[in-house]
Amino acid sequence: MNKRPTISDVARVARVSLMSVSRAMNNRPGLSDETRQRILDIADQLGYRPSSVARALATRQTSTIGLVMPDIAKPFFSQIARGAEDSAYENGYNVFLINTAEDPEREKAALDSLWQNEIDGAILCSPCLSQEKLEPYFARFPATVLVNRELGVSIANVATINVDDHLGAQKVVRYFVENGRRRIAFITGPATSVSSQRQLIGYRHGLKAANLAFDPSLVEHRPPTTEAGHAALKTLFSRSPEVDAVFCFNDLVAVGVIQACIDTGRDVPTDVAVIGADDIPLASLVRPALSTLQVDKYQIGHQANSLIVRLLKNDSLTRRTVLIQPEFIIRESA
Amino acid sequence: MNKRPTISDVARVARVSLMSVSRAMNNRPGLSDETRQRILDIADQLGYRPSSVARALATRQTSTIGLVMPDIAKPFFSQIARGAEDSAYENGYNVFLINTAEDPEREKAALDSLWQNEIDGAILCSPCLSQEKLEPYFARFPATVLVNRELGVSIANVATINVDDHLGAQKVVRYFVENGRRRIAFITGPATSVSSQRQLIGYRHGLKAANLAFDPSLVEHRPPTTEAGHAALKTLFSRSPEVDAVFCFNDLVAVGVIQACIDTGRDVPTDVAVIGADDIPLASLVRPALSTLQVDKYQIGHQANSLIVRLLKNDSLTRRTVLIQPEFIIRESA
DNA sequence: TTGTACGCGTTATCAT
DNA sequence: ATGATAACGCGTACAA
């Protein structure tokens, strides 16, 4: 394996001190343009790149941000990751990727690992740890952004990005009602999910605004998968065959619902209107194409990283709470 | 921000030398069980975690592998990433994620960054740099795994994982022929893609084995997207309306093809049989469900990282060339 | 404008 | 079994 050239190799060849090389590499003043250029040339010629490790030890900054998410294989998160990585690249940061599989132990291990690696900032997507367990890390990390998670108090170096699920759900119910639907079911995620909770509140508000009674038997808590959506709707139909609209936790669930409708001989959207959430690529590819609450996932990731960068350079960020408005996309399923 | 406790903090409290603490933390011999346990307790109590940065500087090992791919937002790659990260986690490694957007400059920047960060190993997925430009890095990285890319020569610390696109394409053509198809079109990727090249050869071999003439007008080179697949089929139909089977570069393209068939009033699979490749989640969700060449992407990622780990600890890996066999999945589209 | 000495937190080497 | 000292490669403070 090739041995990396070090700063002293450059200094020796250029016949200058280590400091001059350091200054040249970091564009610091205190060098004649002439020697600066000469050093740069030699460094380039030697293929010298300052060791990030040594630099990090000296400066206590790693130029690395940690990206923690339940599962990068899910399109919702992979698109966030793409946005975050792009922003990191633009700002000269590296990104550590860690999956938690929604396992609290693994999430804790992830945070400890990030701390051990002295990352400059952390982006935590849908964390499952309690606020209490999370809090210590806010003090350990120079900056943290929480995605899809609220923070009761205000902490100087912590920002949050959340989707306005509440308003989104309200809009969906209103749309259903305006189109003559009356038995509106809701298949939501686990009761512990913040998104679920917010959606549920919006759903109830929407119902109330339309003078429709809230019927608990029309609500199903399920894991956010296609199979679960399929099964949930079968359950709903057996209990309440007159269901004429279904709002789903996300698009994956909605696809399962559409399939269940077809299986049971119901036409979408004539007999049953279906609306999902997130607008993953699949949504526009399936038939009937899925109406959904579009969320700009790339933008969330990109913004999450920008927030980190800004928290890092500017301690006084006034707007540390971002609320993303989903856009209601009407396609064929409703 | 909290100040991290250092090894000397632990040493001072435990009234031992730095080395004893180091030995205790790393489970190294040369300590009485008694003092070892005492040190461990104190370390735990202080919340001490050895700094990865300082450790890396001293050992020249970062316990980090670099994962470079065109676009984590694409399901094919995100599933590889999940597998790689899981394996890294199991083996105590961190993962640097970098997207290249198929931009050679950005890919080069990625490799330079990994070098600068002194990663222990690199997983390069579908790299677009020439072998010549890639080669220097094989010498700079302790270990490298190439995914979806061949390596003419044999290099001790480099392994490759490739999908047997050639055999896969042959199987598809044979299946088409056995089911009475005679005008078999092929929508492939960019001519520069290795997968495309291998598929094309398999396609021609399959044709020859069935005594069918190769007709260049039945082959379309397109970007690997649904829109491109849709457009490609329209072109094909206008040129050769009698096409009765289409093999597609991947599932995304195949979905576009199916849509184009429906648009032009052709039934799938009665009038036109369609087969894709990769088996992304979408494939089983779309209607008609897509027949495809299933590739275990998670496994590819997991194995890529295992190879890195083994290359790192065991310099003499005899089988450094892995060929993945796709599994032919028959669903509804063919 | 340029250079010297030291510290960052850890491990490796060589003692005791 | 334990400890002192010197790296590892770079940046910072201060000196020349």
Give the confidence band of B145 by pLDDT, cuts at 50, 70, 90. Answer: very high
- Tell me how many residue pairs between chain A and chain B have CB atoms under 8 A apart: 139
Tell me the backbone φ, ψ of residue A250, rounded to 5 degrees. Answer: -155, 180
Average pLDDT over residues A168-186: 97
Structure tokens at B311: 């290359």
**A10-61 confidence digits (pLDDT tens):** 999 999 999 999 999 998 888 888 889 999 999 999 999 999 999 999 999 9
Residues near B153 by beta carbon (within 8 Å), at least 6 away in sequence:
none
Using the Cβ of A75 and the Cβ atoms of chain B, whether some distance falls under 8 Å is answered with yes
Cα(A71)–Cα(B237) distance, integer angstroms: 41
Q: Which nucleotide is nearest to B29 (CA to C1')?
A: D1
* Overall size of chain B counted in residues: 334
> For residue B67, which residues of chain A lie inside 8 Å, CB to CB?
97
Average pLDDT over residues A217-224: 96
pTM, two decimals, is 0.95
> For residue A56, which residues of chain B lie inside 8 Å, CB to CB?
53
Average pLDDT over residues B5-31: 94
Distances (CA, A) of A320 to A224, A305, A315: 29, 13, 11
Tell the residue number behind the tokens 């370390």, with chain if given.
B43
- The one-letter amino acid at A148: N
Residues near B50 by beta carbon (within 8 Å), at least 6 away in sequence:
A116, B7, B25
What is the C-alpha radius of gyration for chain A, rounded to an integer number of angstroms? 26
- Calculate the angstrom distance between C1' of D4 and CA of A283: 66
Does position B124 have pLDDT exceeding 80, yes or no?
Answer: yes
**C-beta atoms of A73 and B52 within 8 A:** no
Average pLDDT over residues B55-63: 97
> For residue B116, which residues of chain A lie inside 8 Å, CB to CB?
49-52
Structure tokens at A39: 């050093």
Which residue of B50, B54, B96 is in closest CB contact with A57? B54
Using the Cβ of B1 and the Cβ atoms of chain A, whether some distance falls under 8 Å is answered with yes
Give the confidence band of A306 by pLDDT, cuts at 50, 70, 90. Answer: very high
**C-beta atoms of B73 and A52 within 8 A:** no
- Calculate the angstrom distance between C1' of C7 and CA of A308: 28
Residues near A188 by beta carbon (within 8 Å), at least 6 away in sequence:
A196, A199, A200, A203, A219, A220, A221, A222, A249
Give the confidence band of B81 by pLDDT, cuts at 50, 70, 90. Answer: very high
pLDDT at B3: 81
Least confident of A149-153, A202-206, B95-99, B270-274: A149-153
pLDDT at A1: 65
Cβ proximity of B68 and B123 under 8 Å: yes
In our burial notation (b when 16+ CB lie closer than 10 A, e otherwise), range B136-149 reads ebbebbbbbbbbbb
Smallest CA–CA separation between B105 and chain A, in Å? 13
User: pLDDT above 90 covers what percent of chain A?
Assistant: 92
pLDDT at A318: 74
Structure tokens at A152: 């009761």
pLDDT at A33: 85
- Calculate the angstrom distance between C1' of C1 and CA of A45: 24
Cα(A210)–Cα(A229) distance, integer angstroms: 26
Average pLDDT over residues B79-103: 98
Does position A316 have pLDDT exceeding 80, yes or no?
Answer: no
**C-beta atoms of A97 and B97 within 8 A:** yes
Closest to B301 measured CA to CA, from B103, B31, B90, B4: B90
Does position A236 have pLDDT exceeding 80, yes or no?
Answer: yes
**B286-332 confidence digits (pLDDT tens):** 989 999 999 999 999 999 999 999 999 876 777 899 999 999 999 99
Mean pLDDT score of chain B: 95
Does position B1 have pLDDT exceeding 70, yes or no?
Answer: no
Using the Cβ of B332 and the Cβ atoms of chain A, whether some distance falls under 8 Å is answered with no
pLDDT at B299: 98
pLDDT at B55: 97
